[in-house]
């Protein structure tokens, strides 16, 4: 079976999955936004958990086969109500049935899925290129050997109860500190900050990055990136990811500021 045949035969199912799950996310996002309006002082941790649930919904089945479930009614809407509403136009009827270009075997659904696959491929390549760059940097770099920095890392490891080995590396390739890796986390710090050796600057950075390690944020970021790639056409997903990134940094700031 050729790749085009696979797209042709599965385009309707793929499109239904993406649209129905996007419909779910829109409803759940409205719920979170209304809750945020009702409780404007909602904690960052609670709001973060709610947006995580919204994003996680995108990878769940669209229908749980329950007549009172949201999946049942959304399938009814997309597969029955909407087609019946639009069948007054021959064009829309053909579009919904994927038979606009019957002679060539082409359809709008196939076009949509083909464009979606192209976008997914391009974004995936960009994402993998960054991962490869970080991996090369990790292989080429050497851990920083500084008694004061080692003491600061060990102090915050005990504070957060982190048992994994932490590697500290300086880099000229990145302007902001960040953490990479899950099982053997690596903290990247700009070389200029290391050269200054200012405890008032470096210790909050180490504490902040250690909070990311404690929360296993690296694992969630992988999941978040996969969902964002698969639903790259949905602007709401990008907004949710942006909000999650901001909340994650706020939570780590709060945790690292604790005595």
**Is 173 a residue whose pLDDT tops 80?**
no
The pLDDT of 224-240, averaged and rounded, is 91
Q: Going edge to edge, which strands form the sheet with 178-180? A: 167-171, 186-190, 178-180
Higher pLDDT, 92 or 156: 156
Residue 32: per-residue pLDDT:
92
**Cβ contacts of 76 within 8 Å, gap of 6 or more:** none
250 and 149 in a single domain? The answer is no
User: Which of 11-15, 96-100, 142-146, 165-169 is predicted least confidently?
Assistant: 96-100
Residue 105: per-residue pLDDT:
47
Quote the mean pLDDT of the chain.
77
What is the per-residue pLDDT across 148-166, written as a single tens digit (0 to 9) for each? 888 888 888 888 888 888 8
**Is 255 a residue whose pLDDT tops 90?**
no
116 and 38 in a single domain? The answer is yes
**Is 111 a residue whose pLDDT tops 70?**
yes
76 and 33 in a single domain? The answer is yes
Q: What is the pTM of this model?
A: 0.76
232 and 172 in a single domain? The answer is no
CATH of the domain at 205: 3.30.2010.10
233 and 205 in a single domain? The answer is no
What are the Cα distances from residue 200, in Å, to 1, 56, 93, 188, 197? Answer: 62, 38, 66, 18, 9
Residue 5: per-residue pLDDT:
61
177 and 155 in a single domain? The answer is yes
**Is 14 a residue whose pLDDT tops 80?**
no
120 and 40 in a single domain? The answer is yes
* pLDDT confidence bin for 139, thresholds 50/70/90: confident
**Is 115 a residue whose pLDDT tops 60?**
yes
Which is nearest to 180 in space by CA: 250, 189, 16?
Answer: 189
* Separation of alpha carbons 90 and 100, rounded Å: 10
11 and 89 in a single domain? The answer is yes
The pLDDT of 49-54, averaged and rounded, is 92
**Cβ contacts of 118 within 8 Å, gap of 6 or more:** none
172 and 226 in a single domain? The answer is no
Can you state the angle between helices 3-38 and 108-140, rounded to 10 degrees? 80
Segments forming the whole domain that contains residue 49: 3-132+221-256
What percentage of the chain has pLDDT greater than the value 90? 20
**Is 79 a residue whose pLDDT tops 70?**
no
149 and 62 in a single domain? The answer is no
* Separation of alpha carbons 158 and 161, rounded Å: 5
70 and 121 in a single domain? The answer is yes
Phi then psi for residue 178, to 5 deg, are -160, 165
79 and 15 in a single domain? The answer is yes
Q: Give the chain's domain count.
A: 2
């Amino acid at each position: 079976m050729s790749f085009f045949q696979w797209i042709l035969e599965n385009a309707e199912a793929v499109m239904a999955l993406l649209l129905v799950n996007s419909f779910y996310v829109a409803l759940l996002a409205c719920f979170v936004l209304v809750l945020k309006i009702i409780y404007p002082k909602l904690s960052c941790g609670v709001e973060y958990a709610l947006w995580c649930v919204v994003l996680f919904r995108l990878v769940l089945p669209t229908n749980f086969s329950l007549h009172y479930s949201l999946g049942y009614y959304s399938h009814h809407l997309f597969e029955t109500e909407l087609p019946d509403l639009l069948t007054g136009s021959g064009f829309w009827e053909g579009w919904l049935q994927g038979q606009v270009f019957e002679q060539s075997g082409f359809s709008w659904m196939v076009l949509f899925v083909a464009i979606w696959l192209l976008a997914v491929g391009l974004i995936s390549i960009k994402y993998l290129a960054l991962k490869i760059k970080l991996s090369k940097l990790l292989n080429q770099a050497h851990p920083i050997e500084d008694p004061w920095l080692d003491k600061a890392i060990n102090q915050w490891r005990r504070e957060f109860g982190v048992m994994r080995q932490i590697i500290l590396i300086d880099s000229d390739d990145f302007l902001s500190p960040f953490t990479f890796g899950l099982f053997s986390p690596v903290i990247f710090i700009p070389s200029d900050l290391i050269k200054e050796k200012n405890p008032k600057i470096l210790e909050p950075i180490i504490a902040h990055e250690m909070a990311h390690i404690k929360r296993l944020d690296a694992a969630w970021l992988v999941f978040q990136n996969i969902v964002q790639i698969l639903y790259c056409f949905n602007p709401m997903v990008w907004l949710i990811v942006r909000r999650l990134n901001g909340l994650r940094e706020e939570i780590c700031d709060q945790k690292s500021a604790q005595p």
